[in-house]
Amino acid sequence: MSVEATMHVVRPSRRDAYLDWLQMLTGAALILFMWSHMILVSSVIFGQGAMNAIAGFFEDTYMAQVGGPLIFLAFLVHFVIAARKVPFRAEQQKTIWAHAKMLRHRDTWLWLVQVVSAMIILIMGAIHMWVVLTDLPITAAKSAERIQGGFWFFFYLVLLPLVELHVSIGFYRIGVKWGFIKTDRRPQAKKAENILFIVFMAIGLVTLLRFLTLSV
């Protein structure tokens, strides 16, 4: 390989390694949060009392007041770190798209899905968190009233699949990148990723329908 061909190759630095670790840790934390959040919110399926009891616990222990802003901070940090690898310029996007079509590699397409979904989630997720955190305490009646207003039902109908897709792909890609998922285990890991997406999508849709039919 000629010197000219290697001139623009930038060697990864120790800083890049630290940022990759921080991206992985914030990503893993957000994945766990999203799964936990979905399960806790879905408690409304069993009635207003179940969700209000859980929400009340988080309020009484100040986990909602402190944890909410911390999650939002982790959300922003994760996006900023991940954004350093995202092609924002038109010509870079064109090149990535051309390479993805040429390679026809599933994991490359998964990365592209993550990038696109991340851009939308950044805006919609920030709106959701602002609305919830500026209207504490969280109650089943408040959530139901908001969703039954019409706009928010369709808002969450868009946000839900984007988040679950981003999270399930992120879980898989963390395992692949950091060696937890070996090459020969990728087919099984991909099946697990699909199952996780289907399960949490189902929980999310049933929860949305429950809020829609809840008497407030």
Q: CB-based contacts of 162: which residues, under 8 Å, 6+ apart?
A: 117, 120, 121, 124
Q: Is residue 128 part of an annotated ligand binding site?
A: yes
Distance CA 180, CA 83 (A): 24
Cβ(156)–Cβ(165) below 8 Å: no
Tokens of 7: 């001139």
Crossing angle (nearest 10°) for helices 106-133 and 90-103: 130
105 annotated binding-site participant: no
| Residues 159, 204: Cα–Cα separation, whole Å | 10
Q: Are 146 and 214 in contact (CB under 8 A)?
A: no
138: region left, alpha or beta (phi > 0 left; psi from -120 to 50 alpha): beta
> Which residues line the annotated binding site?
37, 78, 128, 166
Annotated binding site for heme b: 37, 78, 128, 166
